Amino acid sequence: MCFAERRQKQPARDAAGAALGCFGLAGFALVCWLCLPRIDTAAVFALAIFVWLALAATAWLLRKKQALSPRARPTNEVPCFSQFLTCQASAADNEKSRAHQPEDPC
């Protein structure tokens, strides 16, 4: 993946990470709402932080697993256009340099 593609996809990755973190935050809020009236505050916050971490990590792992599955990858993936131009230019430069090299007399 070329630099231009990575730069374009980075905001989408950031937004996806924020959305996955929201699942954990919802779990944190639910644990606090249900347990604070009944249990010690420190224990509730410890449990809520654990739930937040567990939910966010599970959501991230599921998304990562789905992204790595063969179905998720396009079969006709086209390389980045700027990368294609760079490859074409370097191939043309190589051919030109070979054409202008003097032959070895030995």
pLDDT tens-digit readout, 14-53: 888 888 889 899 999 999 999 999 999 999 999 999 999 9
Question: pLDDT class for 13, splitting at 50, 70, 90?
Answer: confident
Q: Does residue 90 lie in a domain region?
A: no
Into how many domains does the chain fold?
Answer: 1
Q: Does residue 54 lie in a domain region?
A: yes
Residue 34 CB coordination number (10 Å)? 12
How far is Cα 60 from Cα 26, in angstroms, rounded to an integer? 15
In the DSSP assignment, the letter for residue 69 is S
Q: Is the pTM here over 0.75, yes or no?
A: no
Q: Does residue 7 lie in a domain region?
A: no
Containing structural domain, residue 60:
41-71
The gap between the terminal CA atoms of the chain, to the nearest Å, is 44
Q: Does residue 48 lie in a domain region?
A: yes
Q: Does residue 33 lie in a domain region?
A: no
Q: Does residue 81 lie in a domain region?
A: no
Whether 85 and 4 have beta carbons less than 8 Å apart is answered as no
